[in-house]
Structure formats: structure tokens, C-alpha cells
Structure 1
Amino acid sequence: MSEQIAPLFTQILMICDEEGLIGRNMFAIDGCKIKSNASKEWSGTFEELERKQVKLEKASKRILSRHQSQDDMPEDEVAHDLKQKEKLDKSAAKIADYLATKKEKLGSKGKPRLFTSNNFHYDEEQNACRCPAGKTLWEQSKKIEYNSKSYVRFTGHLKDCRTCPLQNQCMRNPPKSVGRQVQFSLGSNANKLSFTDKMWIKIDSPIGRRQYSKRLGTIEPVFGNITVNKGMNKFTLRGQEKVNAQWQMYCLVHNIEKLRNSLH
């Protein structure tokens, strides 16, 4: 679907540009929260799903035990319980099949915490660096300029990193061609402002506040039209590619509406 919508979206956007609907005076970037097509019932870690599977199996066994102890139950109750048991067994089997065929995806909480530059010992006067395992790193770059600040970079010797007992805590993957790299901010950065700091100062200025206030009237009406007037308050598809295509489709409709209003 995205293969058909993406070029059409671009075509409509180009027509809007030809009609002068893109002013090029101000571009505003913002975001809004839209519900996804996901079920909390089937979300969670492998451990949580295993507990849910056990719970479903126990509920199914309780129904069976109740039937065995009460042979004189009415037929309608028996039919209802059997239907409920079938539903529980089906859900438990679905979880079991998922756990057996899928690998657990570790989120930010499940990933082991890797060593940061704070775990390395850097002597700025001696221009030397040691890793948590006590090995000396070599200076790869004396001065790296990034975001208006200067850094020095050290790299671990490949032979040390390959045999290091702390490798799992230091590197995401076993080293192949280069050892662990780490960089430190130089002392001369104390009086330098980053691009982020400069932007905060710019926005907080009288001119910046006036420009920033225009964002509300530029981008918010778009979100309001799409989510309220067009009813796009929840994604009905799953997967990033399909969700992006669905969002592009609604943006396409929004642009067609603006194009129609400009021509009439």
C-alpha cells in the first residue's frame, strides 16, 4: 500500500506548491499522540506471557474439575462451560506457540548496562586513559569538534578487548577490527555553548518567542483537522510501514482539501 500512496502523496504536494500553498515563510515541526492498533492483553515480556499461560491452563482445569464433581449440571451450563474451556485452551495454546517460535526482544530495561565514559579513568594532564579492566587505551584523535565542543578520543587495543573478561559490559558486539572507543570533553569546553544551548537562547529572545508563538497557528490546525474532522484518532493498521502509509493517506486528504478550497 505504501508503494502506491507515497508517490501520490508527493504528487499532491507538488501540485500544492505550484498553486502557491507552500509559503516557505515558516516551517513548523511538531507531533501528536494517536492510539495504536495494539492489544495490551497480548503485550508483555516472556515471563509475563508464561504466567498468563499458566493462569489460563489452571482456569481450564478448574472447569474440567467442576464438571467431574457435578455430573447433574444443566445442559446449558455444560455447553457454556465447554465453550469457555475451549476459549481458554485456545488462548493458552496461542501463547505457547508464540513462546516456542519467537525470541525475546530485550527493551531498554532488559539490556545490560554498558560502561560509559564515566567508568573510564581519564587523566587530562598526562593525556592518558585506562579502562575499567585496568588496560591502557591509545589516543586516536587529539581534538574532535562536535556541537561547538572539543573532545579527545581514545581506543582500546584490539587484542585487549577481544580477551577482556568485561567485554559484555563494555561492548554491544564482540570487537572485529577496532577496540572500545571512548571520548572525553576537553577543559576548554567550559566557556563554549552547544548548538542546543544556542537554540534555547534564541527561542528565549523576544524575536524567538514571537516566532515560536506562530507555531500554534501553523501546525495545530493540521492535527485538529486530521484527528477530529477526519476521525483519525486511532491507527487501524499494524507495523511501521503500514502505519506510515495510513498517516500519509490522511495527510494526502488534508492537502487535497486545502487544494480544493484554494481553487474555489
Structure 2
Amino acid sequence: LGHELFAIDGCKMRSNAAKEWSGTFKELEQKRQKLKRLISYHLTEHQKKDSWESEEELDRAIRQVKTILTLDKAANKIDKFLKHNEPRLGKGKRSNEVKSNITDNQSAKMTTSKGTIQGYNGVASVDKKHQIIIDAQAFGEGQEHHTLQPVLETIQERYKRLGISKNLYEEGIIVTADTGFANEANMQYLHENNINAYIPDNQFRSRDPKFAHQKEKYGKRHQTSGKSKAKQLIPASEFQFDPITMTCICPAGQTISSRGTRNNPQGQPTAYFEGRLLQCRHCPKKHQCMKTPSAADHRKGAGRQVSFPLNGKRAANYTDWMKHRVDNPLGK
């Protein structure tokens, strides 16, 4: 171990569970009711026939019984889960209910470069000198933000338990991680605990002159030939935002709903608005306004969303502190 620099990164891995068995408690209850209706239907069809005259009819009856047993087993599985478990809450700013999984409720549905999987985010920490893994944990959350603090605390506790270091981070060891770990709460934790970390935000390249001509030289990232250009939507600038009354009128003349004011990822106070489903569903401009117009046709969908940064210079925050560290010559 070099005790000079630790690098932290995550890798999403499949669990031994099917994503089809995932859902909120409301969705699982709906699935259970659907299974019960199917069981009732097959039982009714089965009971209509008192006798089976041919071998073909007998085979059909046997398959029907097997179907009923399979559906009954699935319905009982959901029923047992709902009775003995509580809804699972997310770990973001707004702790809304997230999808549970009947087979493996510690795993989570997460998006990867190869599609959506049911699995874990495996986060490994590596010592620079000989690439030795000093910590590896699995988290049932797709986002990496909340994993940084428990990972750093686990490493600290392990080094203390093994007698390597009483306070690892006081020795000035550098900690690096990618933009997936960057948020205001993590920057505050690093600052308050005097951890010598460098975690770039997702805009750090745009501030570095060395990257100014990167697109001209190499082209845009993830560029694929043959694909059509991205759909040009009606910009937020065409929405009439009134910061005094906190109202917003869309290009079709409809007043859309306020979703409150909160800080954006850059820490700037921002007002958020969203069109109501019925407004967007029947709007003649929805194909020019929405990236996915069909989202407004579904009862669980959403209307057009826009946000507006509020005027007034915000106070400096911990993300600004990290930006300064990453942008200075030593950080680079």
C-alpha cells in the first residue's frame, strides 16, 4: 500500500432477481389483483367443462390446471411480500417510495449503458501504488452520490482496526472519484472532515481551456453516424415566467403547475414548473414541445417540464470550494 492516493469508482452488476418482480407497493397490489382475476377466469373456464371426451381436451384441461397453480403461486408470493415488508424509500433529497423487488429487496432497478437491470452498484476503492483494492461494497441504489460517505468511513474504520492508521485522512491521503459522486452534501462532508479529495463536477471540462478544441479534433462524445439529429424542442425562453407571482404560461397560453423552488445541481435557486397531463395531452403543440409526446397519454406520465434560475447571486457553497480545487494547477 502506498498510502498516497485512493481512487473510488462504481460498476453496476445484475443481481439474481428479475426486474419484472419490481414495483412500488401500489403497483404490486395491482399486479396481485390482476393475477387473481386471471385465476378466476381460468377456474370459470375449467369448471364449465364437466367431462373431457377426447385426449386433446384432456391435455388442454391439464395445461389449464397448471396455469391456475402457477398464477396462484405468483399471487401468494406477492401477498406474502406485501404483508411482511414496508415500502422502500429512496435516499435523495425527497425520500419518495422507490420500487421494491419481491425476490431480492436489497437490489434495485438501475439504468446502465446496456439497458435497465435489477442489481447492485458495486463500489470499489483502490490504492494507487499497486492497484490493491482496499474496500468493495455493494449498494442497492443506481445513484452513487450517497455511497461516498459510507465508503470513506469503512476505509477509515478498517485501517484503524488493522493498526495501520488511527486517523487515515489526517495524513493528507488524496481521494479521487468521478462526477457520479459529486453533489453538495458530499462536498460539505469532505470539507467538514478535512479530507483531501478531488471530485470534479460535470462541467469541469467546459472551464478548462485544454478541452476547448476537443470536439473539433475528436468530434462529440457518443457520436454515431447515420442517426438523425436530436429533436429541437420549444425552448424554455418561449415560456412566460413571472418571478413575482411565481407563475408560468406555456406557448399554448396555458398556465402550468409550479413544482416549487429548490437549488439546482450547481447550487443556484431555481423555479420548476410542469404542465398538467390533460393540458399537454390535448395540446396542438405537444409534438414540438415535448421530447416524448406519448408520455402525456399515460396516466403515470408527465407533461412538459421547464425550470428558470432565479435572479440574485447565490452564496458560495461547498461545490464552489471543490470547483476551485479541481480547476487549480495542482488539482488538474
- Higher strand content, 1 or 2: 2
The two structures share one fold, judged by TM-score above 0.5: no
Higher relative contact order (CA 8 A, sep 6+): 1
Superposition TM-score, scaled by structure 2 size: 0.31
Higher gyration radius (CA): 1
Quick check: which one's helix share is greater? Answer: 1
The two structures have a TM-score, normalised by structure 1, of 0.38
